[in-house]
């Protein structure tokens, strides 16, 4: 009756690959969880945001801070 296709109850299941915790391209932190871009590089983020609020995004100093923040995020594994 087709019972020969089923495995005995005690037989180990075929090993399946573990599901990815993060989509491709998202860096994984030391705890094994995906990193959140909003939580990485808080120092450069704060300086960048303050500068933009006070001087505007086009200000040369703010542009340097924006680039510094992007560089920090790249070091953390983000593609920005």
Give the C-alpha separation, 71 to 69, whole Å.
Answer: 5
Coil, helix or strand for 34?
Answer: strand
Domain layout of the chain by residue ranges:
42-76
Res. 53: pLDDT tops 80: yes
According to the annotation, is 72 in a ligand binding site? no
According to the annotation, is 39 in a ligand binding site? yes
User: Tens digits of per-residue pLDDT, 17-45?
Assistant: 454 456 777 899 999 999 999 999 999 99
Mean residue pLDDT across the chain: 83
């Amino acid at each position: 009756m087709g019972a020969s296709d089923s495995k005995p109850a005690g037989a180990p299941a075929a090993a399946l690959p573990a599901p990815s915790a993060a989509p491709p391209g998202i860096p994984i932190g030391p705890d094994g969880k995906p990193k959140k871009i909003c939580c990485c590089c808080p120092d450069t983020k704060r300086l960048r945001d303050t500068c933009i609020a006070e001087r505007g995004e086009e200000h040369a100093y703010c542009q340097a801070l924006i680039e510094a923040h992007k560089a920090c995020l790249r070091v953390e594994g983000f593609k920005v």
